[in-house]
Amino acid sequence: MPKIAIIGAGSVMFAKQLMTDILLTPGLEEGEFALVDIDAPRLELAAQMGELLVSLSGRKWRVTASTDRREVMADSDYIIHTIEVAGLPNVRHDYDIPKKYGVDQCIGDTIGPGGLFKALRTLPAWLDILADAEHLAPNALVLNYTNPMSITVLAGIRASSMAIVGLCHSVQHTSRQLARYLDVPYEELVFQVGGINHVAWFTRLERHGEDIYPRLRERGRIPEIYEQDPIRFETMFQLGAFVTESSGHFSEYTPWFRKRPDLLKKYARSGYLGESGFYANHWPQWRQAGEFEIKQHLRRQSRGRNPRVKMTRSDEYASYIIEAMETNTPTVIYGNVANTGLIDNLPTDGVVEVACLVDQRGIQPTHFGKLPTQLAAINQQHMAFHDLVVTAVLEQDREAAVHALMLDPLTATVCSLEETRAMFDEMVAAERMYLPEFLL
């Protein structure tokens, strides 16, 4: 009977999906969801939604909840980490201040100035959670969903004894997109992916033993297909491989697409395809919409009506990992793990995203090999950024955080060193209430 702690359950729509996935998992007939969030009203919503999902599933799961994780986290078998630290008060600062300096972000939550400052706000809380886990649930597997993914996992690996794997959905979603672009059944697609989170590369793409990259390049030249993913297709044409993150978000990881208005006009499109300020402008409304949807389900239930909850198991890896470990049903996921020689030409003190076998023995990363040099070079630059951010927090070294921003590809392509430091100082001043003391 597994006990699953969800830390940051106030992200109610995501917590709802994770609980739905687990309640639909074969062999998991009973267990416990231990929900934690410091936002009491949103935690209560998540707990009520959990109770509703359990009743709809017909399974014997219980739901406990507390704003104090120490009250409910003890003896957890799995800890799912989904926290957001001071996002609402700072999402505008993360976008608006860099924009003044010419740094144009689309999402800005894993890389760039926005990603850096999200990490600086998040890592201290993450490390406190892991410290509690070491005492209360030392044998638990920690499944991290919080961004910035690579930085968060790297900090956890360096500072904690807990077993940690970072989980994203970019490989699942992109592989399904590729099947659609290729117009082939998804089940017939065979692929290999390696790199870092959001910048992992499809280095193998086959169907019936045949390389279908030539077909993808042909299909990508068709305007109506190209327009669905302009930046990723352009990257593939020029660098030789399709990348795992959306066109808009990936454009922030490079110096090529967002440094001039003419390039933005040529390559960026609306929404996740590259819209300037897309996350800052829309995330608060998405959050409200999710909360409203949960309240609607609960309101209908309280009135004795069908709550109209659609229960479908998603592609998120968490439930498949738990199924594999609890029922010894082997599966393969793509996880963010320490690079213990898994990708030969990436730093061994960093975090990489590779295929992992999962069974009752836990997460077992597989050896990827060597990335093409041009792709490895992009990843290496970001891994230096990750290293500096984690060093800054663990060693309370302000200069390391400044140097990280200086190495950020998008920032470096439009800002001088002096301008980068000025931007950093301005962001610290704006967000000082939510940042660790060593930065002030």
Task: Tell me which H or E stretch contains 333.
Answer: strand 331-338
Encoding tokens for residue 152? Answer: 């968060």
Q: Per-residue b/e over 315-332, b at no fewer than 16 CB within 10 Å?
A: ebbbbbbbbbbbeeeeee
The residues with which 354 forms a beta bridge, in sequence order, are 335
Work out the angle between the directed axes of helices 12-23 and 40-57 (0-180°, nearest 10).
20
Q: Per-residue b/e over 233-268, b at no fewer than 16 CB within 10 Å?
A: bbbbeebebbbbbbbbbbbbbbbbbbbeeeebeebb
Preceding omega of 148 cis (within 30 degrees of 0): yes
User: Angle 38-109-191 (CA atoms, 0-180°, nearest 5)?
Assistant: 115
Q: Is 169 annotated in the active site?
A: yes
**326, 27 Cβ separation under 8 angstroms:** yes
Strand, coil or helix: what is 298? Answer: helix
Annotated active-site residue in 169, 198, 249, 403: 169
Max distance between CA atoms of the chain, in angstroms, equals 63
Q: How far apart are CA 20 and CA 26, in angstroms?
A: 12
Side-chain half-sphere CA neighbours of 210 within 13 A = 8
Backbone angles phi, psi at 344, to 5 degrees: -60, -35
**143, 320 Cβ separation under 8 angstroms:** no
CB count in 10 Å sphere of residue 419: 14
User: Angle 267-270-274 (CA atoms, 0-180°, nearest 5)?
Assistant: 50
Enzyme catalytic residues: 169
